[in-house]
């Protein structure tokens, strides 16, 4: 959570092409497809059906990267055939996620929850009235899970970066016309959110937790300079320690949360609260428990590697 520069990202427009195929694809997604999704629920199914082979074609090199990252992370645990199978699912999971987003922008009516384990963990933690911190990773079904939880009476505050989520655009068209639209779209999908760049971010989270609410923090994105280096799935990365700062200050319960499948086949899992000795000094507290949280979530990824979205992010951070 929240180191703040307060400075906008400055990019040199002159280096950017006018438009790229990738941005054209996003333009089709954000305008005609999104418009169709508003009038027909079949639009998102069509997107998966048509978009998967198209994305597979566009992201051939990405798939090879994902396969290599999987191989690095799992070593001999996965056979070559399994690595191929999992990396082949990556384009489909991606198109399913963006199709889910089209649906979630309009609400949670289309969500089908196949299983929800650990609801009692959440209820017990909320009953203590100290707030609940979901520590999680970027699962493909993460947004669907939060919509589903909200529909059950468990609204979740999302903590995220303000910047565009599909990645910085690589064209002038994308930067000027698509990124603002995508940003508004993402806000409509997520709904209940606070930005790590905001200087009041931690206080907003603190208020929510003190009010007995739920806040979600991702450990697979280094939000700020407050990180601890440690191995995650075969790579050494900076894991943000903000969740533990919050946990120590507020006394809230810390529950690992996992979301698998998609909006129409959601599998939600909330683990029991992680036992924390809050008498430790902050530095020692973070150094002792951050690896514990990471190990729990890493084990969840190992159970179903294709449910975790940012294999490619790992590469950028390695």
Partner 1 sequence: VNELDRAALADRIRGVFVRSLSLDLDSSRLPVSPDLGSLAGLDSLAMLEFVAGLEQEFSFEIEPERLTRDFLGDLDALVDYFAAHLGGDAP
Distant-in-sequence, close-in-space partners of 304: CB < 8 Å, separation ≥ 6? 260
Phi, psi values for residue 13, rounded to 5°: -60, -30
Least separation in angstroms between CB 165 and partner 1:
20
Query: Using CA atoms, how far apart are residues 193 and 195, in angstroms rounded to an integer?
Result: 7
Question: How far is Cα 193 from Cα 258, in angstroms, rounded to an integer?
Answer: 19
Identify the residue among 43, 113, 196, 217 touching partner 1 (CB under 8 A).
196
Binding residue for partner 1, selected from 58, 206, 230, 296, defined by CB under 8 A: 206
Q: Does 219 bind partner 1 (CB under 8 A)?
A: no
- For the record, the structure tokens of 228 come out as 């601890």
- Residues that contact partner 1, how many (by CB under 8 A): 23
Window of 150-158, 182-190, 196-204, 285-293 that interacts with partner 1 by CB under 8 A: 196-204
Work out whether 75 is an interface residue with partner 1 (CB under 8 A).
no
Give residues with Cβ within 8 angstroms of 105, minimum separation 6: 34, 37, 185, 188, 189
Pattern 2-41, partner 1, x by CB under 8 A: xxx-------------------------------------
- What gap in Å lies between CA 201 and CA 193, rounded to an integer? 10
Tell which one of 60, 187, 200, 236 touches partner 1 (CB under 8 A).
200
Q: What are phi and psi of 206, to 5 degrees?
A: -60, -45
CA distances from 141 to 90, 205, 274, 297 (A): 13, 23, 23, 15
Supply the minimum distance, in Å, between the C-beta of residue 211 and partner 1: 6
Interface with partner 1 includes 188 (CB under 8 A)?
no
Binding-site member from 211, 275, 279, 281 for partner 1 (CB under 8 A): 211
- Chain residues binding partner 1 by CB under 8 A are 1-4, 196, 198-203, 206-207, 210-211, 224, 226, 242, 245-246, 248-249, 282
């Amino acid at each position: 959570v929240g180191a703040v520069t307060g400075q906008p990202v400055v990019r040199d427009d002159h280096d950017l092409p006018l438009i790229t195929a990738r941005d054209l694809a996003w333009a089709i997604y954000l305008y005609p497809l999104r418009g169709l999704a508003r009038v027909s629920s079949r639009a998102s199914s069509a997107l998966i059906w048509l978009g998967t082979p198209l994305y597979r074609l566009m992201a051939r090199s990405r798939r090879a990267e994902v396969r290599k990252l999987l191989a690095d992370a799992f070593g001999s645990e996965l056979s070559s055939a399994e690595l191929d199978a999992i990396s082949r699912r990556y384009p489909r999971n991606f198109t399913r996620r963006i199709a889910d987003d089209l649906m979630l922008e309009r609400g949670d009516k289309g969500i089908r929850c196949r299983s929800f384990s650990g609801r009692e963990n959440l209820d017990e933690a909320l009953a203590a009235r100290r707030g609940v911190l979901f520590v999680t990773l970027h699962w493909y079904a993460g947004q669907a899970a939060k919509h589903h939880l909200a529909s059950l009476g468990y609204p979740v505050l999302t903590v995220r970066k303000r910047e565009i989520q599909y990645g910085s655009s690589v064209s002038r068209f994308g930067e000027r016309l698509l990124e603002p639209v995508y940003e508004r779209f993402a806000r409509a999908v997520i709904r209940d959110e606070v930005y790590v760049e905001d200087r009041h971010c931690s206080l907003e989270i603190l208020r929510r937790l003190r009010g007995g609410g739920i806040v979600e923090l991702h450990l697979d994105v280094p939000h700020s300079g407050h990180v601890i280096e440690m191995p995650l799935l075969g790579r050494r990365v900076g894991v943000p320690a903000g969740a533990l700062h919050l946990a120590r200050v507020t006394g809230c319960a810390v529950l690992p949360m996992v979301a698998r499948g998609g909006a129409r086949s959601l599998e939600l899992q909330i683990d029991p609260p992680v036992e924390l000795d809050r008498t430790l000094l902050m530095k020692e507290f973070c150094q002792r428990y951050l690896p514990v949280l990471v190990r729990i979530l890493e084990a969840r990824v190992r159970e179903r590697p294709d449910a975790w979205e940012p294999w490619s992010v790992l590469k950028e951070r390695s």
